[in-house]
Structure 1
Amino acid sequence: MPTIEEVLHIKLEASDPTIAGALHTMLCDFPFTHLVNTLQFTKPEVLVIGCTTYSSEITERVKEAKEHNYGAVYVCASQYTDNDKHEALIAGARDFFSYPISKLILQRALQDYLTNRTVDSSLPRPPKVVAVMGARGGSGTTSVAVNLAACFAKDGSEVALLDFSRPYGDVATFLNTPSKRDRRHVARDLDLINPAYITSTMYHHSSGILALVAPEITMGTGCVVPETVSAILIAAGDAFETIVVDMGSRVDAALYRVLELADASLLIAMPTKPCMNSAKRFVQTITAGGFENFCKLSLVLTGCVSGNTLSKFEIEKTIGVDCITCLPEDQKGTFIAINDGTPYCHIFPESPLSDSIKELAAHLVQHDCPNTAPEKDE
């Protein structure tokens, strides 16, 4: 039997009898949940809201619940728009589900919250999910993601590296992995996604990285949509201490979902004016899309050389995000590592670039990301 600390006290609110009955049955079946009714004095920690058609009233209810210190709020609706989902998540919902919902998906979501709630945070540890995204192609996003994952795996623990770059991804090339299995195999049926299945689909690299690679040929989103992203991250979260996500440089619904779920997000850019402008537009775009949690977003500069005419202050002012490190350029060494299919920091462990990547990993373990919001243009 679960202990008191392992039980989630949940309040269910659903006006539609069918939705209410289905969610009630699921929640009562989970061994770690307890439904709280209005006659009980136990304060619920989690609120599950079910509705037929999403409305602004649900948004206000989510905000109210967060103001009353609910640990997590989940919304489940049968009729809604992408904007409705976005509003609910911005209001504070931990996740948004489409009804009818898979019992397994709901169970994983609640288990993920329960696990994170009971984790001892007294010791420094890597962020659970680190999202790495580029201001534009060629900025070094995949290189940073691969080597950051390798640094996290240095202590012997296995680290997940998820290639969510769209439409194509390069993690398979950087790690010289066979492409027999990729993220399409995981995304075929969300109900089948579990820690064991997702781990079996990943490529086990000698560095300790387990990589979920992108398909060689893909159409459209390449199976990277919000629902798939959530399911994969939940399953991977049960199997790995740390997850590094390579998001590429596309701004879409999948990126917003990863930004919402990530504990730290890194925007990769080079110290050139074209790349700075791209980074500025990137930040402006996600801001216009409703992203507000800039305490988790940091800038990482790549390809830095001495004597660069753009100062760190100018770059931060242009983009509106604090820069936490400048990675020195080593084009030759980087090419050698990529062509060898081995993380750069494993081939050149004592180089200035490797030292900088290790410092970046240590920073993410020991510190919160700078709390910076972009300045709005007048």
Structure 2
Amino acid sequence: MVRAIASILDTDLYKLTMQQAVLEHFPNVDVSYRFTNRSMQMRFNKQAYDSIMDGLQFLTQLTLQPHEYSYLLSDKAPMFKSSYVDYLSNYRFKPHEQLDVRLVNTDNNGFGDLEIDIRGKWVETILYEVPLMSIVSESYFAYVDTDWSYDGQESIAKEKMKSMAQNGIILAEFGSRRRRSFQGHDIVIRALKEESDRLQNTGASGKLGGTSNVFFALKYDLPPIGTVAHEWTMGIGAITGYKNANYTALDLWEKTFGDKLLIALTDTFTTEAFWRELLDHPQKASKWIGIRQDSGDPVKFCKDANAVYQQLGIDTHTKTIVFSDGLDSDLCIKLKQVTDEHGFKSSFGVGTYLTNDYRKASNVSEKSKPLNIVIKIASVGDTPTIKLSDDLSKITGNNSTVKTVRDELHV
């Protein structure tokens, strides 16, 4: 049996912050989520399926430990309210009630397609995404594709950190949802921190700014980093309507977090729609310290962001752009130069490139392909959710709702 999850805090910060916001604003809302394996040719066998089921059973044993409770109430995690930490201390995963996991369309060799549906209260089911994806990935690479090893992971991570830090990159490790395994993730985080600390002593302008994984933030004394996911705005759009969904999402977020975690995600219903709402609400543009780019052309995004802030009379030097879409060292360095030209501060959330970059053990010149899996909120009550994105391949939701919202938002 693989042990893919170390703690209830072995998740991304934004799942906890969103759970706090949902608890405050939508505690009784029912939702559903859907798992999608975009790498459809990478199928699962019975051993991997059984491992996933064992991993879900292990989730039922996870509870917030006393030292974790204290950490969430400390100045290391100032975004959490005591009422929420109390809620989390009593939280329990209930996969037997809330998850339906199936291996379907099995062939003569026993390989099939993995299907997973999640249903329940939003405030409860919101925490499944990251640990479930970790369990699925670790099970696949333990029982299906075993032609890989951890050899070289430490040195590879250090070399990436060196390249980025020497070019002024503030790196945020965002690899939880895409990691191959817990052990591999641990190796990478430790290596990144060691190399960043060493380079700081040599005067490097870049560094490891933190990690989205709260467990590793606690373990390695790193800042926990993250704000909000598409899920928040998608759910609010389904509940309140789409015309002002971005503004409503920002407003409710502020009511929970005050002046903390004010990085706005722009592309849930296309960045074009987001810019229009931001221009209609200049007080939000002024108060929120930055924006996150997660799809589309990042260079165009910087140019458009500069134009929007200039139109509002806001100095771009006071704002940060966080990039988080398919980054590697070279792209981070390129985008750092672009943001510098436009006067923005910048940060880079890097995931798969750090925690799922492996070579085949049988042929080290060939990459070991990572799974491409996602879990997205699918409905709120009886209302289907959608994400439009700036990348057509990332659009989610039924075609009818997508068309209706596109027409409503004129995008």
Question: If the length of structure 1 is used for normalisation, what is the TM-score?
Answer: 0.28
Q: Tell me which of the two structures has the higher relative contact order, counting C-alpha pairs closer than 8 angstroms and 6 or more residues apart.
A: 2
Structure number with the higher strand fraction is: 1
